[in-house]
Amino acid sequence: MKKNLIKGRLGGFTLMETLLAVALVGMLVSIFLTVFVPARGMVQQALTKQESERITGILRAELATLHSHEQAGEHEKKSSPNKYLSTFDKGFYWLLKSKRPNTSIVIFSYRADTSKSPRDNGSYPPVPPSRVVPGKNSQLVTVACPMNDPIHKNDIKDAVGSVFIVKMTQLMPSSNGEYTLAGNPGIIKGASDPENYFSEQEDDAWGGAIFYRADFYLMSPPHPARYRTRTWAKMGRPLFSANLSFRR
């Protein structure tokens, strides 16, 4: 009888041993949370900053590029809302498109089907995500264009990753040397077309520069039809913002 009792006690833990084990585990968890959670937050913050800089860079690069399908005709003397004589004119009209979300600029990526013939603007149609075979007749491309673009508006539903909506609001220099919002988005003070716009800054040797704040919103869900009646007031707060400019 005594032998059985002794064997049973040797095979288990006492209450004191259990309490010490729980305390030790709790201390280790506390140390883990103290050391690794802040580190994880710093990594996420760095990735968020990197992503915002990448998206901002895409917008900046697009406004510095005039694609062949965007160029005004050879005999055109002025730009139109969709055909431009210069990248400055393109930026001017793109800013005007920010009056409402459903005409503003969107930035997204999709997987292009390079086995198909290119479209009128030189881009390839998308491969639906359910049919994507990585590395087979497709490539990932990034697009910045108006949401109501006649070609790319149908590509948004096949986007890979996030789709961003850009609100562009002009910035004006103030007396203290800083810049403030000129008013509502999609409005440029001083001219209704790029030919009549000239900067009021005395040190602007180029004769025209427009500064603006770009606010980036997440398009969720990524369906342009859902934004036909949406206003900026209903978009909430932007994910991030950047002060940018374009000039003649």
| pLDDT higher than 70, residue 243 | yes
Task: Give the pLDDT confidence of 106-147 residue by residue, as tens digits.
Answer: 999 999 988 889 998 889 999 876 676 666 778 889 999 999
Report the run of H or E that residue 33 belongs to, with start and end. Answer: helix 15-63
In the three-class reduction of DSSP (H, G, I as helix; E, B as strand; rest coil), residue 157 is classed as: helix
| pLDDT higher than 60, residue 218 | yes
| pLDDT higher than 50, residue 42 | no
d(CA 144, CA 106): 6
The two tokens of residue 77 are: 């003397």
Instruction: Give 171's pLDDT tier (boundaries 50, 70, 90).
Output: very high
d(CA 64, CA 62): 5
Task: Give the pLDDT confidence of 13-38 residue by residue, as tens digits.
Answer: 677 767 777 777 777 766 655 655 55
Q: For residue 35, how many C-alpha atoms fall within 13 Å in the half-sphere facing its CB?
A: 6
| pLDDT higher than 80, residue 102 | yes
d(CA 25, CA 51): 37
> Residue 204 has what pLDDT?
55
> Residue 199 has what pLDDT?
65
- Bridge-based pairing state of the strands 240-247 and 179-181: unpaired
Spell out the domain ranges in the chain. Answer: 68-103+162-247
Q: Return the bridge partners of 168, or none.
A: 214
For 131-162, b where at least 16 C-beta lie within 10 A, e where not — what string? ebeeeeebeebebbbbbbbeebbebbbbbbeb
d(CA 168, CA 104): 8
Query: Which residue would you say has higher pLDDT here, 14 or 228?
Result: 228
d(CA 169, CA 99): 9
